[in-house]
Amino acid sequence: MSSTDSSPGRRLLLTGGSVFDGSGSAPREADVVVVDGRIAGVGTGLDGDDVIDVSGRTVLPGFIDCHVHVMLSDVDGRRIQQTPFSLMFFEAARNLRLTLEAGITTVRDAAGADYGLKRAVETGLIPGPRLLNAISMLSQTGGHGDGHQLSGIEAPFFPSHPGAPSGLIDGVDQARHKVRELVRARADWIKVSASGGVLSEDDLHHRQFRDDELAEIVAEAAAAGLDVMAHAHATEGIKAAVRHGARSVEHGVYLDDEAIDLMLRHGTWLVPTLAAPLAVVARAEADRTALPEEMVAKAHELVEVHAASFRRAVDAGVRIAMGTDTGVGVHGENLVELDLMAKAGMPPFEVLRSATAGAAQLLRLDHEIGAVRPGLVADLVVLDGPPDDLRGVSDRITTVLRAGRVAHRRASGAAADPQ
């Protein structure tokens, strides 16, 4: 069986191991049968035409990363300014392949990827995980997404082009128009910057956009059947995004009791991206000229408070979905986030749920992916070693199935080869 074999009607059997079904419960011994890209059976005593021996391993739903930037390969502004425009798309193809090989079968791109990149994956032109796109982040003038420099030049992370309009807006009318532009560009989500950020010149703690602008963005997105994801570090930005109906808060570093209570009452999801500020610090340590000192200082500030704020959200029962902000960090290393979440106080099987069934629920795809259950798409990973040990997860994945096809198999994992 290879990534190009379709084998219609044939039964692919994963046998001899345990299954983590995505619910948060501990794994149980079971086999999994896949037919025509979907899970046809989970249980014991099953048979198949093709067999993958997973003895001593765990079968899990394919992981879901709810916050990536596949078009971003480095946060060094100088490198970005010297990168030919078209090169970003070739780098994105590599980034998507690395992400899939790491065991991540679905991603939500939080700005940068356009519909053309999504179609390239859908049609099999390039390998990659299922891709949901925000395309461009909506930002106020002088906000987190404004690439204007004091010299007068424009240096955005993601230059606008026919498939990705500029996200810079001010006022209700522009908000309505820009959401409609993004809908026209085939966005799956609408992303808004509700506070300052790390890799921008603005103040991390300032709220961005006024109430009428946020309300219009969410209302116009809803009219098109889309949800809103809100970048928000600052407390007041978090609260404003939640009050106006954002489905998820990205980062959510400065959570106070009121913000947590609002998230609980509105059912808002938190996508914490604990790895992101650590990645910025690591990039700066590797090359002290790569980032301005002010940005590095903001990243250090977040590292100190992020884990504690996340723990408070976990303890309060806030709904959490895994996301990494990869692109800020290194593509293919996304799943370091799992270990960070566990170290910050989330039980390991709840961490796994946040990266499978929980993430699918946030993305409104739980009828298709996120669990090992008959009828769902067979996005599956096979994990070597204890499933509740979240250290080095990507290095322990022996097999990745995307819609029932073997998309990646670790070369040294001979026991994972179909018999």
Question: Which band of pLDDT confidence, cut at 50, 70 and 90, is reported for residue 415?
Answer: very low
Kindly report, residue by residue over 100-140, the tens digit of the pLDDT: 999 999 999 999 999 999 999 999 999 999 999 999 999 99
CB 240 within 8 A of CB 261: no
Q: Please indicate whether residue 388 or residue 415 has the higher confidence score (pLDDT).
A: 388
Task: Identify the pLDDT of residue 242.
Answer: 98
Task: Identify the pLDDT of residue 125.
Answer: 97
CA-CA distance, 172 to 102, in Å (whole number)?
Answer: 41
Residue 310: both structure tokens together: 């996340």
Task: Identify the pLDDT of residue 356.
Answer: 98
CATH number (3.30.70.100, 3.40.50.300, 3.20.20.140, 3.80.10.10) of 63-334 reads 3.20.20.140
Task: Identify the pLDDT of residue 253.
Answer: 96
Task: Identify the pLDDT of residue 412.
Answer: 54
Mean pLDDT of 390-395: 94
284-288 long-range contacts, CB within 8 A, separation 24+: 287/76
CA-CA distance, 61 to 106, in Å (whole number)?
Answer: 11
CA-CA distance, 349 to 355, in Å (whole number)?
Answer: 10
Whether the per-residue pLDDT at 354 is higher than 70: the answer is yes
Task: Identify the pLDDT of residue 114.
Answer: 98
Helix (H, G, I), strand (E, B) or coil at 266: helix
Helix (H, G, I), strand (E, B) or coil at 178: helix
Question: Which band of pLDDT confidence, cut at 50, 70 and 90, is reported for residue 80?
Answer: confident
Mean pLDDT of 264-292: 93
Task: Identify the pLDDT of residue 7.
Answer: 66
Maximum Cα interatomic distance, the chain, rounded to a whole number of Å: 69
Would the CATH topology of 11-62+370-416 be identical to that of 63-334? no
Residue 118: both structure tokens together: 């999504």
Q: Which CATH superfamily is domain 11-62+370-416 in?
A: Urease, subunit C, domain 1 (2.30.40.10)
Whether the per-residue pLDDT at 409 is higher than 50: the answer is yes
Helices of type H across 199-324? 211-223, 235-243, 257-266, 275-286, 293-316
Mean pLDDT of 255-281: 97
Kindly report, residue by residue over 286-345, the tens digit of the pLDDT: 988 888 899 999 999 999 899 999 999 999 999 999 999 999 999 999 999 999 999 999
> pLDDT averaged over the chain?
94
Domain coordinates of the chain in residue numbers? 11-62+370-416, 63-334
* Matching residue, tokens 């899990």: 60
| Model pTM score | 0.94
State phi, psi for 134 to the nearest 5 degrees.
-90, -20
CA-CA distance, 247 to 63, in Å (whole number)?
Answer: 20
Q: What is the DSSP string of 352-403?
A: HHHTTHHHHHHTT-TTTSSS--TTSB--EEEEES-TT--TTTGGGEEEEEET
CA-CA distance, 30 to 20, in Å (whole number)?
Answer: 9
Look at strands 269-271 and 319-320 and give their pairing: parallel
Task: Identify the pLDDT of residue 416.
Answer: 40
Whether the per-residue pLDDT at 282 is higher than 50: the answer is yes
Whether the per-residue pLDDT at 411 is higher than 80: the answer is no
Kindly report, residue by residue over 181-204, the tens digit of the pLDDT: 999 999 999 999 999 999 888 888
Kindly report, residue by residue over 241-253, the tens digit of the pLDDT: 999 999 999 999 9
Task: Identify the pLDDT of residue 404.
Answer: 97
Kindly report, residue by residue over 2-47, the tens digit of the pLDDT: 444 556 899 999 999 999 999 999 999 999 999 999 999 999 999 9
Task: Identify the pLDDT of residue 228.
Answer: 98
